[in-house]
Structure 1
Amino acid sequence: MLSAFFDYNVYIFNVFVAAMDRRIQQSLYEQFQVTELEVNLRKRLFELSDLELEKLHAYRRKIEPHVHDLIGEFYDLLVRDEYVPRLIGDSETFNRLKTGLHRYILDLFSGFYDSEYVNNRLRIGLVHKRIGVEPKYFLSAERFLIRCISNKLETIIENANERQSTINCVSKLIAFDTSWILDTYIGGLMDEMQDIKAKTDTYVKTLELKVENLTALANRDPLTELYNSRAFRDSLRKALLLSKQNRTSVSVVYLDVDDFKGINDDHGHQEGDRVLKHIGFLLSELPSDYDIACRQGGDEFCLAMINCRASKAVKFVESLIEQFKKEFPKYSLSIGIAQHGEDGDTDVDALIHNADKKMYIAKKAAGFKVCA
């Protein structure tokens, strides 16, 4: 169980590392799977024609000398909200934001509205999402920026129709930009949801593995790793019910180490534990996957042999005795065998008790003895 828990967590970590490695090798444009077709589609949605974008580019040199003042006007409007200064935090961040805005404004008039342009817009959205700018503040800032650029264009372009056409184009282009920027917000939320789901799935799987591990520990004897008495009784009851349906036999073997107290007293508890562990090992090598073995308590063990008559159980026990003798020739075992027949009786305790009684009958004789 612990191995499965470890392997699963290693698997999750490797998947995460592989995903992150693929991600950092891609541009935002690639991560969001943007295509040239999608870029052109959005241009049409926002009614941005190549002709008016070319005209916008013609004003780059005229707008550039005014960008510094434009940025000052923009931030004068922006910092009226007490949230903005707290978000900006310090002068270094403020200067970086102004530098970024300077580049953004010039990009509006660059004449290039391709994959690199879109990639930069996606990056803007990602940065604002990371520093915690909520969409409502971003959209408010967008409105202020359009107002500031429009005010400057009012002073630069004399022809009223041309001026209004250019202002409209800037407004549409900023809306085009915002559509990409909001994609990063939405994508970020989706990523967060996926992260939460992945963490939840991992947490649930971890809990399941822990529960399985704890259940296994609760059902097992820590020394021999066989089932404990409670788990054995539960499993035996299920086996008896199935045996009743199928009209088959179940044999219960009850095993006790002779003079176990003497072994501990004369040779120490380590020797006693070694004997118990070896019996646990022998009982774990069962002839059928359906057979059930347990440490009943102290030096007593129980084995339920499914679809097995007492005569067949005796043969298994004789083989077990021979293997035990090879390891511990000076010690002996007393063994009782009780068979559940086809009468339909499913009394677990009665069957175990019958095997126990036969074990005590066997114990009256010296050396290895089996009573069936």
Structure 2
Amino acid sequence: MSQTEQALLEQLKISDFDIEYRKLLFSLTNEDCQLLEACKPIVEVRIDQLIDRFYERQTGVPEIAAMLGDAHALERLRAEQRNYVLGLFSGIYDLEYAKHRIRVGLSHTCVRIEPKLYLSSINMLKSLLMELIIENIADEIKRHATLKALNALLLFDVHLLIDAHVQSLMAEVEASRKQCEHFVASLERKVQERTQHLERLASTDPLTGLQNIRFLHQTMTRILRAAQRRSEYVSVVFLDINDFKAINDTHGHQRGDELLRVVGAAIQQISRLEDSCFRYGGDEFCMILPNCREAEAHALYIGRLNAALKHQVENVRLSIGIAEAAPDASIEPAELIRLADKRMYQAKRMNKGI
């Protein structure tokens, strides 16, 4: 048995107990099984004639005739139908019998035979078998009991096949649902990745790789509020490159851009993960340092930045201003930036650029 058939049996919860319960539901008794088995010799000697008559009627239905295919396919179907009919009169209707009927149902599902056409075929077969029984069983009581048994068994079969058909459709729906969910999840991931990429592009200075000033005030507000909750200081470093205009005028904008990239890389190199670093505009840079006092920024941050630049480029001097916000101070981001900017220009005027 294939994995598909085994999975379907498990989903249908087909077991020996279930088979017996289904027989009970359709009043298929042991006596009925014996009556049907007793008809087997009658059916066996007339099986070819019965199959011929069955397909003569089948080909009279245009929709069914269109699905029968070529002569080779028709011959295969005739052999399958022959086995199916003989199985009706085996007298043994157990789990193996049910598995065979479910395989028949799956084969019809695979070729997309509509239930109405399948049921019409069953009705056609039932009519032919009833004629055969009526013609060959003289005893009226036995004949009536055999017809009743045949009807119960065909209902038993049809119920199995309908269950298999419905479960197969449900499995297809579930597979489609999972496929759709996977597609939607994949699409959502792509949208999220592209959104994050666009957000990074929108918030990143393309020349230096630092953040641009678009989210500076928003970031500083968040950091200041967090620092107040944790009773921490926040320092803001504001700097620019001394004589940057002269460098541009003398050596060209390409040299100026390269110098901006070097300063940006040095800032990224010495910054902590919690620091937020921005290119403020032109040759100006702004860094927000959580949990850092002004003196620490002078001693540690500026020292590291100066050392990093010396390894990259010669004769670069920076003017730097630093301002701090105490945890209990009520200061706006713009005010703190203005204070650091003011101190940076004071340093420049006093020729104290590093």
Match of 1:339 in 2: 324
Match status 1:328 vs 2:315: no
Residues 191/311 of structure 1: CA separation in 2 closer, same or farther (3 Å cut): farther
Deviations 1:171-230 (A, max 9, x none): 211211222212222222222232222123222322332233123212323676654433
Question: Where do 5+ consecutive residues of structure 1 fail to align?
Answer: 1-21
Q: 2:297 aligns with which of 313, 317, 320?
A: 313
Within 5 Å, which residues of 2 pair with 1:145-224?
145-220=125-200, 221=204
- Describe the superposition over 1:3-49 as per-residue Cα deviations: whole angstroms up to 9, x where unpaired: xxxxxxxxxxxxxxxxxxx9469464346442221121111111112
Change (3 A) 1:308 1:268: closer
- Structure 1: distance between partners of 2:353 and 2:73: 87
Q: Does 2:126 correspond to 1:139?
A: no
- Alpha-carbon separation, structure 2, partners of 1:80 and 1:367: 105
Residue in structure 2 matched with residue 73 of structure 1 by the alignment:
53
Separation of aligned partners in 1, 2:256 and 2:93 = 83
Structure 1 contact 334–363 (Cα < 8 Å) conserved:
yes
Q: How many Å separate the matches in 1 of 2:13 and 2:282?
A: 67
Q: Is the 8 A contact 1:122 1:180 kept in 2?
A: yes
Whether contact under 8 Å (1:122, 1:184) holds in the other structure is: yes
The DSSP-based 3-state class of the residue aligned with 2:100 is helix
User: Aligned pairs, how many?
Assistant: 344
SS at match of 1:158: coil
1:176 is aligned with what amino acid? F
Instruction: Tell me which residue corresponds to 1:121.
Output: 101
Q: CA deviation at 1:344?
A: 3.1
TM-aligned CA deviation for residue 63 of structure 1 = 0.5
Q: Tell me the CA shift for residue 365 of structure 1.
A: 7.4
Letter in 1 for 2:76: R
Deviations 1:219-249 (A, max 9, x none): 3236766544334443333334445666654
- Give 1 or 2 for the bigger CA radius of gyration: 2
Structure 1, 327-336 or 206-215: larger mean CA deviation: 327-336
1-side partners of 2:298 and 2:238: how far apart? Answer: 12
- Kindly provide the CA deviation profile for residues 116-162 of structure 1, in whole angstroms up to 9, marking residues without a partner as x: 22112222222222222222332232222211221222222222222
2:237, 2:322 within 8 Å by CA — same for their partners in 1? yes
Asked if the contact 2:240–2:318 (Cα under 8 Å) also holds between the matched residues in 1, the reply is: yes
TM-score by length of structure 2 reads 0.79
Alpha carbons of 1:144 and 1:243: their partners in 2 closer, same or farther (altered >3 Å)? same
What SS class does the counterpart of residue 254 from structure 1 fall into? strand
Superposed CA RMSD: 3.6
| Percentage identity across paired residues of the two chains | 30
The amino acid across from 2:77 in the alignment is L
Question: Where do residues 1-372 of structure 1 align in structure 2 (5 Å cutoff)?
Answer: 23=3, 26=6, 28-30=8-10, 32-220=12-200, 221=204, 226-243=210-227, 249-256=233-240, 259=244, 261=248, 275=262, 278-279=265-266, 281-282=268-269, 286=272, 288=274, 291-296=275-280, 300-321=284-305, 324-325=308-309, 327-330=311-314, 331-341=316-326, 342-346=328-332, 348-362=333-347, 369=354
Moved more, 334-343 or 200-209: 334-343
In structure 2, distance between residues paired with 1:276 and 1:124: 76
CA-CA distance at 1:50 after TM superposition: 2.4
Distance 1:188 1:229, change over 3 A: farther
